Amino acid sequence: MQNGLLKIIEEAEQGRAMTVEEMTDIFATDEGHVVRALFQAADRVRRKAVGEEVYLRALVEFSNHCRNNCCYCGIRLGNRQVERYRMEPEEIVEALAVAHRLNIGTAVLQAAEDPWYDTGKIVWMIEEIKKRYGMIVTLSIGERSYEDYKAFKEAGADRYLLRHETSDSELYARLHPGMTLERRLLCLRRLKELGYQTGSGNMVGLQGQTYLSLARDVELVRDMRLEMAGIGPFIPAEGTPLSDAECGTLDIVLREVALLRLNSPLLMIPATTAVATLDSEGRQQALQCGANILMPNFTPLRYRESYRLYAGKICINEGTEQGIEAISGILSSINRSVGKGPGHSPMRNGKSIAC
């Protein structure tokens, strides 16, 4: 069986798509040498497919008002312990001036699902960011209407992140009251149709989640030909129904990052803040088994504490300069360099999947 897994990893490195059953076995194995082989193969594929550069995305978390009640989320509507904030559109655009000065090519506007930011406000911000800084604009603002997605695209938005969180529709429904996986996937399909570089991703370590469902998460990203995928461990948040549940593990997060890289070689994969919250070396490890993106936080410090999706989130008291220094330290420790330019997924350039 273990030799069988090594062969599967070798074949995947050569470009054969893994089956869900094979991926499930790789999640389940307790053979250290198989896991090491997986990480090394994913690192080689990453180097060949997307290169040594690590692209930076300047993140601004601009509102923690949410209309939803996701059971794991620290800023869910029902959490009365949260101090709520909303940044004004001008303040959001201004927060990106430093990122532009630092030559970071991409802005990520992220917020809870907050209808206060109507179509006009979002369109205004996209146009201003393009006009003032010429940056690539990524939106991460949840489920919106087709008309909104279209208006944002026409205003110049380039990318959209919308994590599906779990490919298990029953688990999805339990964790997201009033929401469905079907609707989430419809949004992802619409975003792709409209021409966005589209990203999704999932959580690892949710109660009731199986290795089979994690394998299906990898399959979903591959089959939908998504261009980005962010994987984070579940970390319990205070004031939520899951506050006492156990965290996901770094090991399984890294296995999924590696499986994503092997199954979707051209994917842009961030080493997430949640991984670093779980383990101070987490981002380095993720970058060495498939990841190629980091997302420094440019949210003004006074708001950071309030955008606490889970307990112990790092970077809350870290100034922008400190954050950039930390990133430089991470990259020099693993001999990687910062990518120049927009850092688009090579899928956009018509590069073939089998690379």
Kindly list the residues in this chain that would bind ligand SF4 in the complex (CB under 6 A).
Answer: 66, 68, 70, 73, 75-76, 112-113, 142
Nearer to ligand SF4, 142 or 265 (CB): 142
Looking at beta carbons only, is 73 or 315 nearer to ligand SF4? 73
Q: How far apart are the first and last CA of the chain?
A: 28
Handedness of CA 236, 237, 239, 241 (dihedral sign): negative
CB of 335 to ligand SF4, least distance (A): 35
What is the number of other CB atoms lying within 10 angstroms of the CB of residue 352?
11
Q: Which tokens hold the place of 8? A: 């599967």
CA distances from 267 to 17, 45, 179, 254, 291 (A): 14, 11, 27, 15, 9
Tokens of 341: 């330019």
Output 77 or 326, the one with its CB closest to ligand SF4: 77
Continuous segment of H or E residues that includes residue 111: none
Nearer to ligand SF4, 68 or 243 (CB): 68
CB 327, min distance to ligand SF4, A:
25
**H or E stretch at 32:** helix 32-50
**Closest distance of CB 77 from ligand SF4, Å:** 7
Identity of the residue, 158 or 165, whose beta carbon is nearer to ligand SF4 in the bound complex:
165
CB of 234 to ligand SF4, least distance (A): 12
3-state SS, residue 230: strand
Minimum gap (Å) between residue 257 Cβ and ligand SF4:
21
Q: How far is the CB of 216 from ligand SF4 (least distance, A)?
A: 20
**Complex with ligand SF4: residue 75 or 218, whichever CB lies closer:** 75
How many Å apart are CA 308 and CA 26, to the nearest integer?
Answer: 32
Residue 47: closest CA among 334, 300, 350, 341: 334
Nearest CA to 75 among 323, 304, 314? 304
